[in-house]
Amino acid sequence: MLSPAGYSWKLGLVPQAVASGLVSILVLFFLISGLHGNLLDVGLVAGVSALALIPSQMLWGRLVDTSGRCKPFLVLGFVGTGLALAAVPWAGSVAELLALVFLKSVAYAATLPARQLLTVESEQREGWLQGLANMQFLTTLGETMGMGIGVLTVSVMGFDQLFLMCGVLCVISAVALRAVVQEPGFMIQRRLVALERSTSTIVAITSLAGYPRLQPPAPVYDRLMVLLNRSTKFLMIGIFGFSLAESAFYSPLPAYFLRFFSSSSVFFIFFAGSLVSALCYPLVGRLTQSAGKSLVLSSSLRIVALPLLLIAALGATSGLAGAILVLAVLEGLWSFFDILSTFAFLETARVGRAGFYGALVGLGSAGGGFLGGFISMQFGFATLFALCSLISAGVLIAFLLQFKGVS
């Protein structure tokens, strides 16, 4: 069980999460209205932001793992993120905005493996899923608050004030985490899980060896085959594909909604979706008994939901209500994927590979950002949503192959 001090550090993530929720839409508004960017520029900003996470998370993750410390990376990451966000209004061109987005992502990447490892190293394996879900619940709730602030302020405050506020919120998180984070001491929990997997394999082999001249019992044989062939190949393909489709449809989505609704209404759509996402996180640990089955179900539902984003084209009240409902479903599915894929990866990843999950998601997000901007610009949003649905079908197949034979 976490001590009160061990839990309170997660509250320090909330101010930065508020900034993240506001900035996620505000940067695109600034790009479109302030710098007069197009959909290709939108995709470029999203792609560069995600692309910067790939080497950054791998590097930061290895440094966190080898140093055995999390606090310095959380503090440094949030201070750097805040400075980059506060400087955004001074960007006079798309190129300058890209440079700031790149620096923001490099700084922010330091916090991701640090918070994941701080969570799992503060829990027994049985508490990992709920611990990760609780952390994501708090941060997503903060992002929802940020989008709610956007609903109320985007029409009355300037970009200078809003981005400065976001920068200050990031620094507040850094100060709070500096005060409350307690280092886990020894990075041992994932090593114990790796030892447990090795022991289980030995036990299964021993059981099989007990039947040298007989047909081994099916449960023993099946368990041995699963343990010996526990490759993460299809899991990584599924994680990449899921994040690719997510970024491809989500990155240009504010520009899509701006065709039919006001800026405040667009913020409200994302606010509602983010609220549903936040409320789903506490349910992950309670409703899911199998990460594999839940990932398969999330992928299946997403195939159907993505094309329904076209309902927004109806405009007015019906289109707005439809857009809110569909995005809420998609955000809820992302919540389940986010926690369950992180859990499945951390459970099987070798020590020293903590940043690889984030790098994989970053690679998918980068590719999706570029793909979403290009496809929506050249072929329209209907084609983009159909393509993302097709990618989700491929993700479904990957997860089915990965978790075949795993209860």
- The pLDDT tens digits of the residues spanning 114-131 come to 887 787 766 655 555 666
Predicted local distance difference test score (pLDDT) of residue 190: 42
Quickly list DSSP for 188-240.
-HHHHHHHHHHHHHHHHHHHHHT-SSSPPPHHHHHHHHHHHT---HHHHHHHH
Greater confidence (341 vs 229) lies with: 341
Tell me the pLDDT tens digit for each residue of 188-197: 444 434 434 4
Q: Is 407 domain-assigned?
A: no
Band (187; pLDDT cuts 50, 70, 90): very low
Range in 61-75, 281-295, 380-394 with the lowest mean pLDDT: 281-295
- Count of other CB atoms within 10 angstroms of residue 273: 25
| Statement to judge: residues 206 and 262 lie in one domain | no
Give the domain CATH number at 384: 1.20.1250.20
Q: Is 203 domain-assigned?
A: yes
Predicted local distance difference test score (pLDDT) of residue 303: 95
Considering the chain, what is the average pLDDT of its residues? 80
Q: Which domain holds residue 209?
A: 189-225
Q: Is 357 domain-assigned?
A: yes
| Statement to judge: residues 282 and 246 lie in one domain | yes
Predicted local distance difference test score (pLDDT) of residue 200: 37
| Statement to judge: residues 196 and 78 lie in one domain | no
Domain boundary residue among 209, 225, 241? 225
Q: Is 144 domain-assigned?
A: yes
Helices (H), 229-290: 233-250, 253-258, 263-287
Range in 3-7, 278-282, 317-321, 378-382 with the lowest mean pLDDT: 3-7
The tally of domains found in the chain comes to 2
Virtual CA dihedral for 284, 285, 287, 291, nearest 10 degrees? Answer: 80
Q: Is 168 domain-assigned?
A: yes
| Statement to judge: residues 161 and 123 lie in one domain | yes
Domain boundary residue among 172, 206, 225? 225
Q: Is 333 domain-assigned?
A: yes
| Statement to judge: residues 171 and 272 lie in one domain | yes
| Statement to judge: residues 83 and 119 lie in one domain | yes
Predicted local distance difference test score (pLDDT) of residue 27: 92
Mean pLDDT of the 231-249 span: 87
Please state, in angstroms and rounded to a whole number, the distance separating the CA atoms of residues 318 and 304.
20
Band (205; pLDDT cuts 50, 70, 90): very low
Please state, in angstroms and rounded to a whole number, the distance separating the CA atoms of residues 183 and 147.
32
Q: Is 293 domain-assigned?
A: yes
Tell me the pLDDT tens digit for each residue of 339-389: 888 777 766 655 555 556 766 787 888 899 899 999 999 999 999 999 999
| Statement to judge: residues 314 and 181 lie in one domain | yes
| Statement to judge: residues 199 and 256 lie in one domain | no
Band (294; pLDDT cuts 50, 70, 90): confident
Predicted local distance difference test score (pLDDT) of residue 349: 58
| Statement to judge: residues 235 and 342 lie in one domain | yes
Please state, in angstroms and rounded to a whole number, the distance separating the CA atoms of residues 80 and 75.
9
- Count of other CB atoms within 10 angstroms of residue 160: 12
Domain boundary residue among 206, 225, 244? 225
| Statement to judge: residues 304 and 333 lie in one domain | yes
Range in 53-62, 249-258, 369-378 with the lowest mean pLDDT: 53-62
Predicted local distance difference test score (pLDDT) of residue 226: 44
pTM of the model: 0.76
| Statement to judge: residues 284 and 197 lie in one domain | no
| Statement to judge: residues 202 and 327 lie in one domain | no
Predicted local distance difference test score (pLDDT) of residue 201: 37
Q: Is 297 domain-assigned?
A: yes
Predicted local distance difference test score (pLDDT) of residue 224: 39
